[in-house]
Structure 1
Amino acid sequence: MANFESLPNRKGTRSVKWDRLEEMFGSKDVQPMWVADMDLEIAEPIKTALSERINHGIFGYTVTDEQLNDTVRKWLVKQHNWDIDPGWLIYSPGVLQTIHMTILTQTNPGDKVLIQTPVYHPFHSIIKSHQRELVTNPLIYQNKRYTIDFEDLEEKFKTGIKVMLFCSPHNPVGRVWLKEELTHILELAEKYKVLIISDEIHADLIYDPFKHIPLGSLDSAISEQIISCFSPTKTFNLAGLQASYAVIPDQELRNEILASFAKYGLNSLNTLGITGLEAAYQYGEEWLEQLKQLLKINRKLVEDTFTNREEIDVVHAEGTYLIWLDCRKMNLKQSELKAFMEEKAMVGLNNGITFGQEGRGFMRLNIASPTSYIKRGLDKIIVALDQL
C-alpha cells in the first residue's frame, strides 16, 4: 500500500514548493499548497528501479530505445485506448520544452498563437518570449463549470491563427473535454489550417466517470498536424527527473522539431529520467489507482468545506489534482485576495491572475497531499473567513 498518510519533510531539499516560501509569500510560516507537485512519496517500484540504477554506479550518456518506446505505447493503449506507432515518439526534458521548440520551428515572429484562458501561465510567457502574437479564446464560465466558446474560437481562427496551444485536461479549471468538444476543435482547425499543440500532461489524473480522450487519437483529416505532449512526471510525482515525450505522426514535422532540440542541445534525457519513466509505466499502475482514490477524498473535502460558505465557490474538477476556487463573492481586489490567503489564512496558493485576466478573483489549490494536510489548510481559510 502507498503511504499517503504522512507528510514527507521536504524542507532543505531545494524544493521549489517548500524552500522558496519567504521569496514567494513573504513568510516561512505560510502553508504551501501551490506549485503542481505532490507532497507524497513515489511508488516503491519506482524507488527500487532508481536505487538499482544508482547502485550500478555509472552515469554515462544514455539513450532512449525501442524497449522504452514499447513501454510508452503499451501505457497509452491501456490507459487511453490509443495504439500509436512507436516511431511517432520523441523525448524531451519537459512538455514546455517541446512547446518552445514547436513554436520556434512552426511559426515566425508576429504569427498568431491561440490559448484558452484562464490557462497554465507558461503558455502566455512562451508565446510572448518568442515574439509571437498572443490571442485568447476565453472559456465560458457558468454554473461553476467551464465550456469552450466555439463561436469566438472560429472568429479568432478566421484572423489567421497559426498554432493553437490546447490544454487537455485543462489546468487550472479541471475540465476533461468531451469527444464532441474535441471533434469540434478538430473540425475548425482543419477548416482554418491550424496546427495544434495538445498539452496532455494531466491525462492520467481523471476522476470517474470522466474519461480522457487524447486529441490525436480521434479520426481526423488533420490528425498528423497534432503534437500530443505527455509525461509521467505529474502522474507519478517525478517532475525533478525531467522526462517527457510527444506523439508526432507527421515525419517532416517530427524531424523539424527534433532538429530544433538538437540545435539547442536538448536532444537527450538524463539517465534517471529514463529509468523513472520506464518504471512508472511498467509498475506504477497500482500506486496510481490508490492516488486517485486519495485525490477523490481530498476533492470532496474541499467541496464540502465550502458548501455552506457564501464567500467561495469550488469549480468541480473532472481531472488533475488542482482545484480552482472562485473567490469573487469576497469582493476583494486581486492583491487583497492574495494578501488574505497569505497573511490572514497563512496558506500559499497560486494567484488566479497569473492564468490570465479571466483568473481575476480566483485562486488555485493543490490537493496532492495527505488529507490531514489539506484539512489543516482549509481550516485556516475558514477561520480567516470568519474573521472578515
Structure 2
Amino acid sequence: MAIDFDAEWDHRGLGSLKWEFIVRDGEPQPWDRTDPDLGEDRVLPMWVADMDFRVAEPIIAALQHRVESGIYGYAGKTPGYLSAVADWVQRRHGWFVDQDWIVPTVGIVPALHLIVRQFTEPGDGVLIQRPVYHPFSFAIINNDRQVVCNPLELDGDHYQINFDDLETKAKASNVKLAILCNPHNPVGRVWSKDELSRFAEICHHHDVMVVSDEIHGDLILPGHHLTSYGLLDSEETEKSIVCTAASKTFNLAGLKTSNLIIRDPEIRTSMKKEIRNTGLWGLSPLGLAATQAAYEAGEPWLEEVIQYIANNHEFLASYIEKYIPALRVIPPQATYLAWIDCRNLGLDENALSQLMMKDARVYLDDGHIFGPEGAGFARLNLACPRSILEQALDRIRKAVESVMS
C-alpha cells in the first residue's frame, strides 16, 4: 500500500523541537513568533535530523497496544526485543549479532559520553573526522578530553579520509579512542569496505579503540551499500563498539532508545558498569515497543521512505543546478541530510546564517557547527513533503539572487 509522504502534518502544540524551538547559545528555546530578529512569517525548519512524516502504522499500533495496557513501570530488554534487533542487523546488513552483544541505552549521544568516560582518562585524545556531527566534540570536550581531528578532504564532489594524517594522529601516545561516523553526518559518505578496513588496521596497530556510530546506517540511498564496522576482520575490530538505533530510520528519536553492539565481553562488562554507575540504566517501555515493532514490521514503510528521500535529493540537486548555480550540493550516498557548499557566495559564517534565517526564512544547520572544516556550508534536512522542500528552495533562491545581484 502506497504511503502519502506528500501529506503535511501540523506539528504545532506537540512540543516538536524541530517546529517549535530555535537553538540560541547552544540551548533550545521556544520559538517566539514576535521576535524582532525573526519577524512573524513562518520560518521553514529544515535543521535537526528528524522526519516530518508520520511513522509506520505497525509502530503506531504497537504503541497504542502498549499504552492501553495501563502499565508504565520500569522496563527491561525482552527476548522479543533482542531477537528483533539481531534479526534486523542480520537481514539488512548481513552481520550475525549474538543477542548477548546487545546493550540497549537511552540514546547514542548519552552513550558516547559514557564511552568517553569509561575508556579514556582526562587529557586523553579522542579522534574524530570533521566536519562531523557536533555532539561528538561535546562528548570529548565536556569530559575533559582532547579533540584530535583527522579532517576529511573534499576531493571534487566527494569526501575522503586522509589516511596518512590518520596514521600520524593515531600513533600519538595520548590518542585512546576514535569515533567513526558511518554513514557520515553531515557529508553523506558511506565508507567502503576498503576504507573501513584501512581505518581499522591503523587503529588496531596503534591500540586505538573504535566507536562506530551507524545511526543512519539503514538510510542508504539506491546504488550504495553499507558495510558495518562489525563485519570487518574480527581481530582488528574486536576492540570496538557499534552504535545503532531505529530512531533516524523510523523517526523515533523522541522515544530515547538505542543499542550498542559490543562483541568483546570485557568491554561489554565495562560499558554496563558505566551505565549503572551513571544512573542511565532505565529503558523506555514505549521506546522498546516501538523499536521492536519497527524492526519486525516496518520494512515496507522504510523502503518507501528511502525512495521518497532519494527523489527529494534528486529534486534538490536539479533545482540548485538550474536556479541557484552559486550553490553546490555534495552528492549524497546516504541519509536525508543534504550538504550544500555555499562558499561561492563569499559570505562569512554569520552573514550566511543571516541570509538563510532572516532573508530566506529557512532554518538550516550552519556548516561551522560541524567544525571549522564546515564553514561556508549548510546542512538541509529534506525528510519532508516535496511541497515544503520546494517552498524552502524558492525562498533560498530569492535570497541568493538578492546577494548576487
Same fold (TM over 0.5): yes
CA distance in structure 2 between the aligned counterparts of 1:63 and 1:118, rounded to whole angstroms: 36
Report the 3-state secondary structure (helix = DSSP H, G, I; strand = E; otherwise coil) of the residue aligned with 1:365: strand
Counterpart position of 1:42: 55
Query: Are the counterparts in 2 of residues 105 and 256 from structure 1 also a CA contact under 8 Å?
Result: yes
Find the aligned partners of 2:214 and 2:6 in 1 and give their Cα distance: 28
2:44–2:362 contact (8 Å) kept in structure 1? yes
1:77 correspondence with 2:90? yes
**What is the Cα deviation at residue 169 of structure 1?**
0.2
Aligned residues: 388
Instruction: Return the alpha-carbon distance in structure 1 between the equivalents of residues 128 and 39 of structure 2.
Output: 34
Distance 1:85 1:56 in 2: 30
**Could you tell me which of 382, 386, 389 is aligned with 1:374?**
389
Moved over 3 A (4+): 21-28
User: Contact between 1:144 and 1:313, CA under 8 Å: does it hold in 2?
Assistant: no
Matches within 5 A, 1:45-194: 45-160=58-173, 161-194=175-208
Kindly indicate whether the alpha-carbon contact (under 8 Å) linking 2:203 and 2:209 is maintained by their aligned counterparts in 1. yes
2:317 maps to: 303
> Which amino acid letter does the alignment assign opposite residue 279 of structure 2?
G
Q: 2:13 & 2:78 partners in 1: Cα distance? A: 36
The Cα offsets for residues 88-143 of structure 1, whole Å up to 9 and x where unpaired, read as 11000101121111111100000010000000010111100000011000000021
2:290 aligned counterpart, secondary structure:
helix
Letter in 2 for 1:32: P
Q: Confirm or deny: 8 A CA contact 2:356 2:363 kept in the other structure.
A: yes
Q: Is the aligned partner of 1:9 residue 2:15?
A: no
Q: Decide whether aligned partners of structure 1 residues 296 and 196 sit closer, same or farther in structure 2, where only a CA change above 3 A counts.
A: same
Could you tell me whether the CA contact under 8 Å between 1:350 and 1:364 is conserved in 2? yes
User: Could you say which residue in structure 2 is the equivalent of 1:357?
Assistant: 372
Give yes or no for contact 1:3–1:41 (8 Å, CA) kept in 2: no
- TM-score if structure 1 supplies the norm length? 0.98
SS of aligned partner of 2:235 = coil
Contact 2:190/2:333 (8 A) holds in 1: yes
Deviation at 1:166, TM superposition (A): 0.5
Q: Secondary structure at the match of 1:221?
A: helix
- Kindly state the Cα deviation for residue 268 of structure 1 after the two structures are TM-superposed: 2.3
The residue type equivalent to 2:158 in the other structure is: R
Partner residue of 1:318 out of 316, 325, 333: 333
Q: Check whether the contact 1:116–1:137 (CA below 8 A) recurs between aligned residues.
A: yes
1:176-325 aligned within 5 A: 176-308=190-322, 309-325=324-340
User: Partner letter of residue 65 of structure 1?
Assistant: T
- Identify the range of structure 1 (57-66 vs 242-251) with the bigger mean alpha-carbon deviation: 57-66
**Normalising by the residue count of structure 2, what TM-score does the alignment of the two structures yield?**
0.94
Once the 2 structures are TM-superposed, how far is the Cα of residue 188 of structure 1 from its aligned partner? 0.3
Asked if the contact 1:310/1:329 (under 8 Å) is kept, the reply is no
Q: Give yes or no for contact 1:297–1:371 (8 Å, CA) kept in 2.
A: no
Partner residue in 1 for 2:401? 386
Shift of the 264–27 alpha-carbon distance from structure 1 to 2, 3 Å rule, reads: farther
Segments of 5+ residues of structure 1 without an aligned counterpart are none
Letter in 2 for 1:320: T
Secondary structure in 2 matching 1:208: coil
Partners of 2:170 and 2:6 in 1: CA distance = 48
2:198 maps to a residue whose letter is H
On the 8 A contact 1:306/1:312 being kept in 2, the answer is yes
Identity of aligned residues (%): 39
Find the residue that maps to 2:212 and give its secondary structure. Answer: strand
Structure 1 residue 27 displacement after superposition: 4.8
Amino acid paired to 2:21? R
Matched letter for residue 118 of structure 2: T
Q: Cα distance, 1:70 vs. partner?
A: 1.1
Amino acid at match of 2:320: F
Which shows bigger deviation, 217-226 or 150-159?
217-226
Segments of structure 2 that go 5 or more residues without pairing to the other structure are 23-30
